Structure 1
Amino acid sequence: MDLGPYLILASLEGAVTAAVLALTAVGLSLVFGVMRVVNIAHGEFFMLGAVIAWWIAHSMGGHPAIGFAVALVVAPLIVGVIAVLADMTILKRVNYDPERTIVATIGLLYIIQQLTLMTYGPEARPVEAPFNTRLAIPWFEHGENGWQMIWPWGLGTTSYKLAVIGAAAGVLLGVWILMTRTRAGLVMRATQADRDMALAFGIPVEKVYALVFGLGAALAALAAVLIVPIQQAHYLMGADPLLLSFIVVIIGGLGSLPGTVLAAVLIGLSDGIISVFFSPTLAKILATLLVGLVLVFRPQGLFGTRHS
């Protein structure tokens, strides 16, 4: 069989990674763009989403689709509320100072991680997908009788993986509409542009910060709920999403949503293709090298703006 089918298979796996990574990284980018807060605990909000999804699915029983549908709504809401409370009780008290918020979110990371270990345990636990039909993918090959369609063995995906890609695209479109076409988005962008001016015009900046922090965490949790039927819920699963999200946000441009999505697609697809043909470790090394090159030659990222 030619290289083409293998490349398509690797690209599909990469597209799933890119979809989940885009959701997670957009949440991180929103928090930094509006609040200028580097949220080190972002990966733990991702992990919480997966663990809560497992708990809901395990408690509901019945058809897997019922528990998953409930988890898809409830888990991001719970994580979002936890993030809002963390903002009001921790970040607000350090006045959103960049250095102190880094230390504060590192502490929040360990608190969430250890509480999850104490209550959930160290085991990795799966969540059953609501549907998981195997879909074969055709390939076209030129033979003695001209072009013909073949069905190579092993070339296929599942209906759930395609649904993950579609769901992530829909949510990202919703976030874009929220930020560009609604009053709430206008308030967020005004706060991002000039905090003091926003305060002068009567915008409740601290409430905006709390809601943005909660929204960023909810997006990470939603990404985790989507991916947990493919992976497994584990109390240490937040490390890789956090690292990749930082890579994506730096490459795309700090605070730039279009840049973040584009960088997530590039990193996700390259990670899937390189992992299939070479190794996952090499994919992470190349992504980190790309960050270094961006920081040297274009510090503001692909879509970011240079600050004077």
Structure 2
Amino acid sequence: MEFGPHLMLASLEGAVIASILVLTAMGLSIVFGVMRVVNVAHGEFFMLGAVLAWYVSTALGGHPAIGFAVALIVAPLAVGLVAAVSDQLILKRINYDPDRTIVGTIGMLFIIQQTTLMTFGPEARPVEAPFNQRLALPWFEFSEGGLQMIWPWGLSITSYKLFVIFAALTVLVALWLFLTRTKIGLIMRATQQDSETAKAFGVPVGTVYSCVFGLGAALAALGAVLVVPIQQAHYLMGADPLLMAFTVVIIGGLGSLPGTVIAAFLIGMSDGIISVFFSPTLAQIIATFLVAMILVFRPQGLMGKAET
């Protein structure tokens, strides 16, 4: 294949990475934006979603689409419930103190990780994709006869990867509508703006915090359910998503949802393209360099607001 088709294929792979990354980072950004909590256990909620997806799909059996569809609903809800309970039992009791919440979420990280190791085991286990047809992709180029459509050998993508991109876009739209068009979303945004004033107007801030913490974890788990047919479930798989999510949130701006979307797209696309043409290591180096430059020249991030 020539450079153009290679770039198209790399861009599609980058879009898949960005789709998973934006869901994971969005959960982290919402938690920090509303609660001002740095959730170090966010990657383990991602991992827990993948493991639960394996359990559900294995328990149901039958056609892979049945287990996957159930896992898309059950895993995020279950992980969100675990996170909400963890908030009530741990974070609420330490009054969401910034330093102690970091220690508390580190404790959550080890509890979830070691519990998964004891129950799930150390092996990486696959989840079969509900559908995985290979789709050939056309390419357009100019020749002596004008614009022509060709079908380069090897230029293809699976139907499931296209579904991941579509599913992430759908979830983002639904999340935006939820935050801007519903009463619960209005309460969450009011709590984000001024929790003390919201409490004075009768808003149950503690309950809102638990729901937000659960929502952030559920988004991470949803991303994991989508990605687990592409990469296997493993009890140590939470580290990379956590690191990449923090990278996205720092670049986009802490608590800025539009910034998170933009940064996830930039990091995901660059990761996919650079990994195809060069190496995944170079993509990680460039992402780290971007974080350093953002922290030096624009500490509030691309879309974050500077503190006054």
* Alignment TM-score, normalising by the size of structure 1: 0.99
Matches within 5 A, 1:49-88: 49-88=49-88
Note the alpha carbon deviations across 1:176-225, whole angstroms, 9 max, x for none.
11111111111111111111111111110000000000000000000000
Measured in 2, the distance between the counterparts of 1:145 and 1:191 equals 62
Q: Distance in 2 between matches of 1:170 and 1:142?
A: 35
Q: Which residue of 1 aligns with 2:261?
A: 261
Stretch moving more, 57-66 or 148-157? 148-157
Residue 6 of structure 2 aligns to a residue whose secondary structure is: helix
Question: Which ranges in structure 2 are unaligned for 5 or more consecutive residues?
Answer: none
**Percent identity of the aligned residues?**
73
- Aligned letter for 1:137? L
State the alpha-carbon separation in 1 of the partners of residues 160 and 225 from structure 2. Answer: 12
Q: Give the 3-state SS of the residue equivalent to 2:148 in structure 1.
A: strand
Please show how residues 92-107 of structure 1 align to structure 2 within 5 Å.
92-107=92-107
Q: How far apart in 1 are the matches of 2:116 and 2:159?
A: 31
Distance 2:179 2:96 in 1: 22
- The alignment status of 1:151 with 2:151, answered yes or no, reads yes
- More moved, 193-202 vs 213-222: 193-202
Deviation per CA, 1:8-28: give whole Å up to 9, x if none: 000000000000100000000
The list of structure 1 runs, each at least 4 consecutive aligned residues, that deviate by more than 6 angstroms after superposition, is none
1:62-211 equivalences under 5 Å are 62-211=62-211
Deviations, residues 81-116 of structure 1 (Å, cap 9, x unaligned): 000110000000110001000011011101100111
Q: Offset of 1:2 from its aligned partner?
A: 2.0
Partner of 1:12: 12
Structure 1, residues 23-62: CA drift from partner, whole Å, max 9, x if none? 0000000000000000000000000000000011011110
Partner SS state of residue 254, structure 1 = coil
Which position in structure 1 is the counterpart of 2:24?
Answer: 24
**CA distance in structure 1 between the aligned counterparts of 2:23 and 2:201, rounded to whole angstroms:** 32
Deviation for aligned residue 1:148: 2.1
For the residues of structure 1 that align with 2:110 and 2:289, how far apart are their CA atoms? Answer: 28
Report how far residue 144 of structure 1 moved: 4.1
Segments of structure 1 that go 5 or more residues without pairing to the other structure are none
Q: Which moved more, 1:261-270 or 1:173-182?
A: 173-182
> Helix, strand or coil for the counterpart of 1:303?
coil
Counterpart AA for 2:281: T
1:149, CA displacement in angstroms?
1.6
Distance 2:181 2:142 in 1: 49
Counterparts of 2:257 and 2:146, CA distance in 1 = 46
1:276 matched to 2:276? The reply is: yes
How many corresponding residue pairs?
Answer: 308
Alignment of 1:224-303 (within 5 A): 224-303=224-303
Partner SS, residue 128 of structure 1? coil
Counterpart Cα distance in 1 of 2:147 and 2:305: 49
Q: In 1, Cα distance between the equivalents of 2:11 and 2:121?
A: 34
SS of structure 2 residue aligned to 1:242 = helix
Taking only aligned residues, the RMSD between alpha carbons, in angstroms, comes to 0.8
Q: How far 1:147 moved relative to its partner? A: 3.0
